[in-house]
Amino acid sequence: MELTNENVLGKIISEFGEENIWDAYNPDGIMTFTTNRETIVNLITYLRDDKELQISFLTTMCGIHYPEQKGKELCVMYQLHSLRHNYRVRIKVFIPGSDPVMPTMTGVYATTNWMEREAFDFYGIIFKGHPNLTRILNIEEMEYHPMLKQYPLEDRTREDKIDTYFGR
**For binding to other proteins (CB under 8 A), which residues are involved?**
137-139, 142, 146, 151, 153-155, 157-158, 160-161
What's the closest the beta carbon of residue 161 comes to other proteins, in angstroms? 7
User: Would you say 84 or 161 has its CB closer to other proteins?
Assistant: 161
Instruction: Tell me the pairing of strands 31-35 and 87-95.
Output: parallel
User: Would you say 22 or 151 has its CB closer to other proteins?
Assistant: 151
- Residues near 131 by Cβ (< 8 Å), separated by ≥ 6? 106, 113
Contact assessment for residue 75 and residue 68, using Cβ atoms and an 8 Å cutoff: no
Q: Which of 113, 114, 154 is nearest to 137 (CA)?
A: 114
What's the closest the beta carbon of residue 95 comes to other proteins, in angstroms? 23
What's the closest the beta carbon of residue 62 comes to other proteins, in angstroms? 17
User: Would you say 28 or 154 has its CB closer to other proteins?
Assistant: 154
User: Would you say 57 or 114 has its CB closer to other proteins?
Assistant: 114
Contact assessment for residue 59 and residue 81, using Cβ atoms and an 8 Å cutoff: yes
Contact assessment for residue 78 and residue 103, using Cβ atoms and an 8 Å cutoff: no
Is 17 exposed, middle or buried (CB count within 10 Å of its CB: 0-12, 13-18, 19+)? Answer: exposed
What's the closest the beta carbon of residue 144 comes to other proteins, in angstroms? 8
- Our CA angle for 53, 8, 111, nearest 5°, is 55
What's the closest the beta carbon of residue 160 comes to other proteins, in angstroms? 7
User: Would you say 128 or 161 has its CB closer to other proteins?
Assistant: 161
